[in-house]
Amino acid sequence: MLLFILAAPGLGCWEQVSSEWFAQMKEQPAVQALEGVQPLMPPEGTVPVGGIEPRIDSPVPAFSPQAQALQNPVAMTQASVERGKQVYTIYCSVCHGADGMSNPEQNPVARRFAEGGMPPTPLLAVPAYSDGFLFTKIRYGKPGMPGYPQIPPEDRWHVVNYLRTLIKGG
């Protein structure tokens, strides 16, 4: 009986032993339309509409002189702060908490980091962070924190403005 069960799948005509008996649909030349095709690259010398953000070559870019020299070009308006809060809530609050205090007791992700010996820094406890530091920190992260290059520069300045309102209020 056991032998039959084991042999049955091999005997079924839907699973023939030799592919030379007759053609099967699953064995056909596959057309890989995009195989070996390079994506269309922008012409040499062109730049994105929003310009290019120069890359900071430093082991910890947030501490570099270039980062410290950056001026926040986005005015601290209500709209900017609201946008910053939105972006912060999406990207940062999971580790740093909705209130910026990075309470590991309240955030499972922050707790995991804390258990690993690298708790997320309570952001609002450090008002001395410069705008350029925060902006660059978000872009590159640090050994203990992932970088967020996917947050466009303008949104990063909005996050900085939002953090400033929290820090001032705190």
Residues at the interface with ligand HEC (CB under 6 A): 91-92, 94-96, 109, 113, 118, 120-121, 123, 129, 134, 137-138, 142-146, 148, 159
Residue closest to 92 by CA, chosen among 164, 168, 163: 163
Report, in Å, the least distance between residue 88 CB and ligand HEC: 6
Nearer to ligand HEC, 111 or 113 (CB): 113
Least distance in angstroms from the C-beta of 94 to ligand HEC: 5
**Contact between 106 and 112 (Cβ < 8 Å):** no
* Integer Cα distance of 159 and 139 in angstroms: 12
CB of 80 to ligand HEC, least distance (A): 15
Two tokens, residue 109:
């992700």
> Of 16 and 53, which CB lies nearer to ligand HEC in the complex structure?
53
Q: Is 111 exposed, middle or buried (0-12, 13-18, 19+ CB in 10 A)?
A: middle
Pick between residue 42 and residue 116 the one whose CB is nearest to ligand HEC.
116
